[in-house]
Structure formats: C-alpha cells, structure tokens
Amino acid sequence: MTVQDEMLAPASEQELSEVIAEAHARRTPIGIFGGGTRIEGRSPEWLTLSTARLSGVVTYEPGEMTLIVRPGTSVSEIEEMLARENQSLAFEPADLRGVLGGNGTPTIGGVVAANDSGPRRLRVGACRDHLLGVRFVDGQGRILKNGGRVMKNVTGLDLGKVMCGSFGTLGVLTEVVMKTLPAARATETLALPGLSVAQAVEVFSVALATPYDIAGAAWRDGTAYLRIEGLDRQVPYRSEKLRAMFRNREIDQIDAEGTRALWRSLRELDHFAGTAAPLWRLMVRPTDAGAITGRLAALGGAFSLDWGGGLIWYCGPGSGTQLRAALPSGHATLIRRGGAEGPAFTPPPPVVARLSDQLRRTFDPARILNPGLMDA
C-alpha cells in the first residue's frame, strides 16, 4: 500500500483539528496512518488520514537530552540526527517491516502510538518511559497538550502514558517530546550456545542480578545472548566478570560491530522474515518462559526470547484463546494476523474494560478514531 495515495494529509495541527471536528460531526470513521507499516486493514468507507506532512524536528537539545518532533518524522531520520550527537532513542524502537511487510517508513508517531520498544527496554524502560510530553488532537478536534519538555514533571494527570500505546484510538499525536540518552561508547555481546529456554532464563536471571547494566538478554535458536554496554573501560571489565561467572559454560565473545548487527537482527525479527503465519508478542514473567515455550512448541510454531525471557515472540499456529490459556502470567498480542481470528489484544477483565471503554469515549465520543482497533 502506498500511504499518500487517496489519503488526507493535513499539513498543520489546525488543519488536522478541522478535519477531525468535521468527521466527528458527521460520525465518519478515520483510519490513522503514520508510515502505515502495521497490518490491520482499513475499510473503504473510512477516511484515511496520513501524518506524513506533520513532520520535522521542532527542537533538539542534546545537553538537555530532549527532542521535540512532529509525528510524521521518520524514525531513521531521527536516529541519524541523534547519532551525530552520540545520542539515541535508548528504548530502541524496532523496524518490523521485515515481518509486517508494507513499504512505508516507520514514523515516530507510530512508534509512540504503539509504545514500541526494543531489546534495551530491559534496562532503560519502554518508549512510554522516554516520552516527556505530547500534543494531540482528540476525537472532537480539540488541540490538547500534556506533560512538557522537561525531564521531571508531575503537573496534573499524566495523559502521555495513556496516549502511548493507545494506537491512535484516543487522538492523533501532533508533537511528541522524547528524552534522548547518550549512546553507549562501547559494546560487546556474550553468546552462550546450546541452551534451552529454561537454561537461558537461568543465565539471564543470574546476569541481571549483577550490577553490570546488561543492556540486552535474548535467546534465539538455542543460543542465549547478553549485551554489555558502557564507557570504553567498563565493557571489557564487565565482560570479564560475566565470563568468569559462567566459566563452566561455552561462551563466544562478539565484538562491537558484530554486536550492532546481531541486535538489529534480533530486534527486527530476521528469523521470522519470509514467514506468513500469525505473529504474536507475549509479555510474561521471565521464569515462566520455559513452561510457556513448551506449550508453544506443542502448538507447532517457532519462538524466540527477548527482555531476559520477559518477551516471547511466537510465530505459528494456534488461536488467541489457546495462546492466552498457555500463559500463567502476562498477555499475548497479535502483531501480524496471518489468518488468525479474534481480538489482537488480550481482552481486559470487565471493570478495566469498562474504564478503558469510558476513557475512549471521553477522548473520542463518536468513536471515529481507528474504530475496531483495541476493542475488547
């Protein structure tokens, strides 16, 4: 799908507000598209709205670790700009085009709307932890703001948190303020081959109980990976300490360049590229991962781990009901349909569902924004 075709692309917050106000008055559903790299379809009678022209950096202050940017800005453009100042979006948003398809470019608005976070989420927190403020247009066309551009702010209710991960169901983001962090000066990976999921999680739990700031703990095809980051002298020291801890296991060291390639591949799910089956993201209590993956194997699909076992990617057959029944803790989200039916998100318990539904009506009384998405 080419995004700009037959799409409305407002060029300003004001214009966007007018479009939404009118859609609200006419009860016209709106599908919101950033880069359009997601999978859920849209119906022909919807208005489709692109954030492509709401783009550009408003300000970037490396000494304050803050970036103010419009939502249609591409993530790669942002990453290049930050890299020139040796900084990064530390939560490491992933480019999942390899598995999701689509030919758009991922945007920062899409990343915030999906609360996308990569492997480093384990140490530094998720996208939502790096979001300092938002401007958005709600389902009635009101232009609103919350939070701000400073690192500490508890003034009023924290609406940025609910906007982040609301997949455009509460409003259209028009500006986001992100916290940027210094990029690691040095990095290295320890690879421990020949481990089952349960063994890998044991390794992770031991490594993550050390003060060595493990910045990635993933498992794929029987190998556990530990990413070490820090200042130049920290990395060899931490590597040595960790290797000593696991000295009776086989360990390979992967250098900085190899590390960067490896973790890109892990976070972009290269191992599932070219597959077509449903793709699920499971967030679980790490020590449950062994038992859960046992059940997933019985369903017949393939899986990999991230976040020290707290995140399981599953690609394969099985219904949402079956998958969710396999979880003693946490939840399962469908990332790529691949023919699977039923709700993409784990249905919340009744009272939480009621509150969520009322919140949605508060932001979008006519329920025109991405209707159907995130429905219980």
Partner 1 sequence: MSTIAMPAPDQAILNRKEEVVAALRAALPAELVISDPAETHAYECDALTAYRCPPLAVVLPRTTAEVAAAMTVCHAHGIPVVPRGAGTSLAGGALPTADSVIISTLRLRGYLEIDTDNRFIRVQTGVTNLSVSGELDPHGFFYAPDPSSQLACTIAGNIAMNSGGAHCLKYGVTTNNLMGATVVLTTGEVIELGGTEMGPEGLDLLGLICGSEGQLGIVTEAVLRILPKPEGARPVLIGYDSAEVAGECVAKIIRSGVIPVAIEYMDDVVVRAVEDFVHAGYPTCTAVLIVEVEGSPDEIDHQIALIREIADTLNPVEFREARNGDEAMAIWKGRKSAFGAMGRINDYMCLDGTVPVSQLPYTLRRIGELSKEHGLEVGNVFHAGDGNMHPLILFNANTPGDLERAEAFGADILRLCVEVGGCLTGEHGVGVEKRDLMTVQYTDDDLSIQMAVKDVFDPDWLLNPAKVFPLQSSAAHRSAEAR
Verify binding: residue 292, ligand FAD, rule CB under 6 A: no
d(C-alpha 134, C-alpha 173), whole Å: 7
Which listed residue (16, 19, 20, 34) binds ligand FAD by CB under 6 A? 34
CB closer to ligand FAD, 117 vs 189: 117
Q: Is 342 helix (H, G, I), strand (E, B) or coil?
A: coil
Chain residues 320-359 in contact with ligand FAD, contact rule CB under 6 A: 333, 335, 344
d(C-alpha 299, C-alpha 284), whole Å: 18
Verify binding: residue 51, ligand FAD, rule CB under 6 A: yes
d(C-alpha 181, C-alpha 65), whole Å: 6
Verify binding: residue 168, ligand FAD, rule CB under 6 A: yes
Verify binding: residue 315, ligand FAD, rule CB under 6 A: no
CB closer to ligand FAD, 186 vs 340: 340
CB closer to ligand FAD, 168 vs 320: 168
Token pair in block for residue 28: 């016209």
Chain residues 204-223 in contact with ligand FAD, contact rule CB under 6 A: none
In the complex, what is the shortest distance from the CB of residue 259 to ligand FAD, in angstroms, rounded to a whole number? 19
In the complex, what is the shortest distance from the CB of residue 95 to partner 1, in angstroms, rounded to a whole number? 19
d(C-alpha 144, C-alpha 162), whole Å: 14
CB closer to ligand FAD, 32 vs 228: 32
Chain residues 171-200 in contact with ligand FAD, contact rule CB under 6 A: 172-173
Strands 47-50 and 30-33: parallel
Q: Which stretch binds ligand FAD (CB under 6 A): 138-146, 166-174, 252-260, 283-291?
A: 166-174
Gyration radius of the chain over CA positions? 21
**Strand ranges (DSSP E) for the chain?**
30-33, 47-50, 57-61, 66-69, 87-88, 131-138, 143-147, 171-179, 181-182, 186-192, 217-220, 223-230, 252-254, 279-283, 302-306, 311-315, 331-336
In the complex, what is the shortest distance from the CB of residue 176 to ligand FAD, in angstroms, rounded to a whole number? 8
Which listed residue (33, 212, 280, 307) binds ligand FAD by CB under 6 A? 33
Chain residues 96-155 in contact with ligand FAD, contact rule CB under 6 A: 96, 104, 106-107, 109-111, 113-114, 116
CB closer to ligand FAD, 38 vs 238: 38
d(C-alpha 141, C-alpha 244), whole Å: 59
CB distance 317 to 300 below 8 Å? yes
